[in-house]
Amino acid sequence: MAQYPIQRRAFLKAAGISIALPALESLPRTARASESQTAPVRMVCIGNEFGMYPGSFWPQRAGRDYELTPLLKPLEEYRDEFTLFSHLDHGLKGGHFAVHTFLTGVKAADARGMEDGSISLDQRAAEFVGSRTRFPSLAVGSADGLHGGCQMSWTRTGTRVPPVPGPRELFRLLFVEDDAAARKKATDRIALQGSILDAVLDDANSLKKKLSATDRQKLDEYFSSVRDVEVKLDLDRQWQKVPKPQVEMDEPENKGLTRDLPTIYDLMALALQTDSTRVATLEIGGSFAASDLGIRKGYHGLSHHGHLKENLDLLTQIELYQVEQFARFLDKLKSIREPDADGSLLDSTMVLFGSGMGNANSHTNNDLPIVLAGGGFRHGEHKQYPEEARQRVPLSNLFVSMLQRFGVETDGFSMSTGTLTGLELA
């Protein structure tokens, strides 16, 4: 940015941020025809902290006739609705700490100076959505777990997007209206934040003329952070006057991540169906309690199985449950028909399932378990990419293809080298 006008509206325009009005039901149908004739594209990213045991996950054969391994069996009914990718990763090391790069493709320390910083896939898509939905994105999960859990969602400035901690909080966020007192408090908070931001921008702009080139660069980085705040303020202000959708579902209780998974998936489906959001992430972290599945050993401990059969059997039970719930989510999306377009919610929703951990037993972050379902792609294959180091294909290439399908005009993301070859639209 060359100039930073004092007025906040002008600042947004200079920053290249276009904030569209939401698609309101009260508008004439012609005013929202472009939204109604074609189903909007959505994106859901699901990740766990410890990956999948390779011996029970990966098929031996590639192509359309690959065998369904024990961990893929729950997806049998949806074989033609998903693609399995092998030998994709970010080329990173770091064990548990590199798990956080699943959707970014780069470590935060290495992202300084990169055009998009360490923004994650979901947040890049959320920027494109803007204010067309009440929530540009939803992150769901828990903040606890080993080294802070999965930590999947990150802004351009390297700030973690905190996850909604449980189904009760998610339900209230999506579908429960605040009372009059709470709404007034929120309005006052937005106004106060706006006034503070105006004052900060005034000070920053007056300072800029007096700074050295190095300090001006630091100030540019600061304005990038201000832009995030500005966009959120305008979004909050717009949606204060729009009623939340009503759904036929009682407010759920929080029972712990393991038992909450089915409810969380149901709420995510409702969030997409009501167009409350078009981008969502689900973090399945170390707070996933194996004891809720009748397993006495801990999830993290079992991921370091030491190739002992008794540990592998229990670990497979945990991972199988996660895949079963993923399959149930796909079933839910497929059962919901688009009201103003052909196809189901699954046809218009890209669902990424995987992890930033390839093999937890050896703390390696290569050969990540990656499944992509729905979204209008041609599926039904196990696609194998080169295993040799010099011919490896970055996982970020898949992310570029997903962003382009989402509508983002880009030919790169993180450390990508292009789009993913072999992935085509149906």
**Domain spans, the chain:** 13-18+37-176+250-406, 178-242
Segment 187-214 shows an average pLDDT of 62
Of the ranges 78-92, 139-153, 155-169, 203-217, the best mean pLDDT one: 78-92
The DSSP bridge pattern shows strands 349-355 and 370-374 to be: antiparallel
Q: For residues 76 and 82, is the Cβ–Cβ distance under 8 A? A: no
Least confident of 96-100, 204-208, 256-260: 204-208
CA 235 – CA 129 distance, rounded (Å): 11
Does pLDDT of 35 surpass 70? no
Tokens 């969502």 -> residue: 280
Residue 82 and residue 349 in contact, taking contact as beta carbons nearer than 8 Å: no
Reported residue count of the chain is: 426
Q: Quick check: 388 pLDDT over 60?
A: yes
Q: Is 385 helix (H, G, I), strand (E, B) or coil?
A: coil
Measured CA to CA, the distance from residue 279 to residue 294 in angstroms comes to 33
The rounded distance, in Å, linking the Cα atoms of 263 and 260 is 5
pLDDT at 33: 38
CB 157 within 8 A of CB 224: yes
pLDDT at 77: 96
- Res. 174: pLDDT tops 80: yes
pLDDT at 37 over 70: no
- The torsion angles phi and psi of 208, rounded to 5 degrees, stand at -55, -40
Listing DSSP states for 298-337 in one string gives -HHHHHS-TT-HHHHHHHHHHHHHHHHHHHHHHHHHHHSB
* Residues near 32 by beta carbon (within 8 Å), at least 6 away in sequence: 23, 24
Q: What is the mean pLDDT of residues 115-138?
A: 92
Count of Cβ atoms closer than 10 Å to residue 124 Cβ: 24
Instruction: Tell me how crowded residue 277 is: count the other CB atoms within 10 A of its CB.
Output: 22
Q: How confident is the model at residue 34 (pLDDT cuts 50, 70, 90)?
A: very low
Which amino acid makes up residue 341? A
Mean pLDDT for the stretch of residues 338-362: 93
Q: In this structure, are residues 281 and 139 in contact, taking their beta carbons and an 8 Å threshold?
A: yes
SS3 271: helix
In CATH, the number for domain 13-18+37-176+250-406 is 3.40.720.10
Q: Could you tell me the pLDDT band of residue 204, with boundaries at 50, 70 and 90?
A: low
Report how far residue 121's alpha carbon sits from residue 383's, in angstroms, rounded to the nearest whole number: 21
Question: From CA 294, how far away is CA 321, in angstroms rounded?
Answer: 12
At residue 228 the predicted structure's pLDDT band, cuts being 50, 70 and 90, is low
- Beta-strand pair 393-394/88-89: parallel
- pLDDT for 209 equals 64
What tokens were used for 377? 């792609």
Q: Are 355 and 50 in contact (CB under 8 A)?
A: yes
Average pLDDT score over residue span 395-402? 98
Contact 14, 3 (CB under 8 A): yes
CA distance linking residue 417 with residue 394, whole number of Å: 7
- Cα gap 308→391, rounded to integer Å: 34
| Count of beta carbons in the 10 Å neighbourhood of residue 225 | 14
Q: Is 180 within 8 Å of 144 (Cβ atoms)?
A: no
Give the torsion through C-alpha atoms of 293, 295, 301, 306, to 10 deg: -120
Residue 364 CB coordination number (10 Å): 19
Mean pLDDT score, 309-328: 97
Q: What is the mean pLDDT of residues 169-189?
A: 76
What's residue 111's pLDDT? 85
Residue 197 has pLDDT above 70, yes or no: no
